[in-house]
Structure 1
Amino acid sequence: YLVLIFNKSLSLSSVPAEWKVAKVIPIHKSGDCSLTSNYRPISLTCTCCKIMEHIILKFLTEFTEKHNILNAHQHGFRRGLSTTSQLIETLHDFSMGINNRRQIDVIYLDLSKAFDRVSHVKLVRKLKHIMGEGPVIKWIEEYLRNRFQFVYYEGQVSKPVAVESGVPQGSVLAPLLFLLYINDMVEGTDANIRLFADDCIIYRDILCQDDQAILNRSLKKVADWCSEWQMVLNTEKTVCMCLTNKKKNVLDFPYSLDGKILRRVNEYKYLGVVLTSNLNWNAHVKYVSSKALVKLFFLKRTLKHSSLETKLLAYTTLVRPVLEYALIAWFPHTQTNINILESVQRKAIRFVHHKYGRFDSPTELLKRSSLLTIADRAKLGRLKFLYLLLNDAFKIDKNRYVNFSQTRTTRHKHCNTLTEYSFNNNTFRYSFFPSAVRDWNSLDPLFFNNTNVDAFIQALEQDLLSKFMS
């Protein structure tokens, strides 16, 4: 019956009214319970409609991929791309600029409630421009028309209110519709752009103040686009940062938005990673280690009498991911910072085994649980990402970052050797691609007999573990 309903819905460009109603359940985050700002709205929509949306999504995805519609610098809501891939590419540009002894000015844009401000009329107009006026677009137009939502809280139900803008929260189509809506936001700008859904940064290498004026004009173009398409740039939260290792001759510039000078910062959390003006990882290491320790102390209180297996599982699923979020993009090179990260795992493994004595070696406890060090897991992650990149698993131009070496195979070089990067400082030397290429070139040729990523990673993990255990 669902097939008949779906076919009829598409052929008639008709969407049942029940499919257009969202049930919003507010979930308390923290703070004062009487403030609505302390609640996160969770939107529940019709299950049948979601199944239909998957059918429409498949068509839209295939069309956009076939015709390369989406901006290549957009990593949000796209298969094979993530915050990690976004950070790797962005930090490569930043560290390379510093390696070339340049100044990079970055503007972090803040779009206020971007998903809720999408104009239905303008979205449909944009879809028709991209794909024409076929039955799918007509269905989406009807799907967006006359939508309602109501709030359900502790058994109480509000009156339904019309939803006149925004991509439908909780829907299957919302992410892709949003990407298509903002896809041309940065067209015509003379700056580098990185997008992750509504997180947007623009930046440019600065050789003189003319470059800064160009970047400021690019900011104005983005602001003009926002004005035309009913998006709002938050001037309070949009900030600028100057990335450089130079001690003098640093060029300052009054970047402005709507006549207001942007606040200049030396530290900014971008996609969950704390970036500083000199790409020093001290602040981020402190941030993630503190966050991980809070979770670890919670586990110590709640799982004090649990089994070793339960505590180990809790650590690897709740604490370690905090340390390892986008780790390969920012892994620090100083031993001090590495030790801080490793110390969290050493505290955790003592808790897992309930071994707190002076003569209880955390290293031996890690070996007993077959856990790699954080540094080894970072190496494993770098090599996995590079393997996938070389095998075209990502929508990233691999030739921009890696090239196979033309030198002949020897006892010390395998046939998959990559050209290594030259560097002028440790910021670039230990950034992702230079580090990953060195790791790759040092691999035993036998690893390349593995024909898929799972076999490659399993063999590599076993090798790292055996070296750690010895």
Structure 2
Amino acid sequence: KTKEMCIDFRKNQRCPKPVYIKGEAVERVETYKYLGVVFDSKLNWKENINSVLKKVNTRMYCLRKLRSFGVNSGMLVTFYNAVICSIIVYGSVCWGGNISKFDRGRLEKIVKKAGHVVGMPLDSFKTLYEKRLLKKLMQILNDPTHPMRHYFDSRRSNRSGRFLPHKTNTNRYKASFLPSVLSVFNENYNSH
């Protein structure tokens, strides 16, 4: 069955008229899972984090079992990166900047638990997210045919090589991909 979701951040939200396809009303939903990422009508990502943590917790059991069998730390880290970390960071360039402090804390907590199980500290969610942002930016900059390449080229300073900051008024947009990736790049650019 066809479903629709209305995302509206205006102060005076109006429920749009129902959509009909072949005479049948399209079902309006509050959450929708697309390519493994759960979207909700407020884009607060709580349902997505719940879904991620549910998947991760089942895999943490396997990590603990491997440790109980005496598997060395190197193999445990490899398992963590392939089976757990990959779930944590999947789609994070879309949602990672706009999750609540509470949900970010939940992700940080599970990474710390995994680090305890493998016997060494692991990259925090914040670090994983920033690495993903930079990787995505490098993919865009290295592909002259990418549709966003022109945007990034136009934001780059000829003198310093840094990106010009993105001016915006809303916190939701400040935490989204474009302003976030520019900010993370500039922070890393200054540290080198």
* TM-score, length basis structure 2: 0.87
Q: Deviations over 1:169-223 (max 9, x none)?
A: xxxxxxxxxxxxxxxxxxxxxxxxxxxxxxxxxxxxxxxxxxxxxxxxxxxxxxx
Q: 1:342 to 1:315 in 2, by over 3 A?
A: same
Q: For 1:276 and 1:424, locate their aligned partners in 2 and report how far apart those are by CA, in whole Å.
A: 23
* 8 A contact 1:281–1:332 mirrored in 2: no
Q: 1:404 to 1:249 in 2, by over 3 A?
A: closer
Q: Deviations over 1:132-155 (max 9, x none)?
A: xxxxxxxxxxxxxxxxxxxxxxxx
1:416 is aligned to 161
Structure with greater proportional strand content: 1
* 8 A contact 2:137–2:181 mirrored in 1: yes
* 8 A contact 1:402–1:419 mirrored in 2: no
* 8 A contact 1:401–1:433 mirrored in 2: no
Deviation at 1:339, TM superposition (A): 1.1
Q: For 2:128 and 2:185, locate their aligned partners in 1 and report how far apart those are by CA, in whole Å.
A: 15
Deviation at 1:446, TM superposition (A): 7.8
| 1:396 maps onto 2:147 in alignment | yes
* 8 A contact 2:31–2:39 mirrored in 1: yes
Q: For 1:395 and 1:379, locate their aligned partners in 2 and report how far apart those are by CA, in whole Å.
A: 21
Q: 1:335 to 1:303 in 2, by over 3 A?
A: same
Deviation at 1:271, TM superposition (A): 1.1
Aligned residues: 190
Q: Which runs of 5+ in 1 are unaligned?
A: 1-235, 354-364, 410-414, 448-470
Deviation at 1:340, TM superposition (A): 0.9
Q: For 1:394 and 1:331, locate their aligned partners in 2 and report how far apart those are by CA, in whole Å.
A: 26
Q: Secondary structure at the match of 1:268?
A: strand
Q: Residues 285-296 of structure 1 correspond to what in structure 2 (within 5 A)?
A: 285-296=49-60
Q: For 1:301 and 1:291, locate their aligned partners in 2 and report how far apart those are by CA, in whole Å.
A: 16
Among 440, 445, 451, the residue aligned to 2:185? 440
Q: Which structure: larger Rg?
A: 1
2:135 is aligned to 384
Q: Deviations over 1:421-452 (max 9, x none)?
A: 222322211011110011122333685xxxxx
Identity between Structure 1 and Structure 2 (%): 23
Q: For 2:191 and 2:117, locate their aligned partners in 1 and report how far apart those are by CA, in whole Å.
A: 38
User: Which region of structure 1 is more displaced relative to structure 2, 238-247 or 432-441?
Assistant: 238-247
Q: Which runs of 5+ in 2 are unaligned?
A: none
Which residue identity is paired with 2:107? L
Q: Secondary structure at the match of 2:108?
A: helix
Q: Residues 53-452 of structure 1 correspond to what in structure 2 (within 5 A)?
A: 236=1, 238-306=2-70, 307-333=72-98, 334-353=100-119, 365-366=120-121, 371-392=122-143, 395-400=146-151, 403-405=154-156, 409=159, 415-444=160-189, 447=192
Structure with greater proportional helix content: 2
Superposition CA RMSD, Å: 2.2
Q: For 1:251 and 1:432, locate their aligned partners in 2 and report how far apart those are by CA, in whole Å.
A: 28
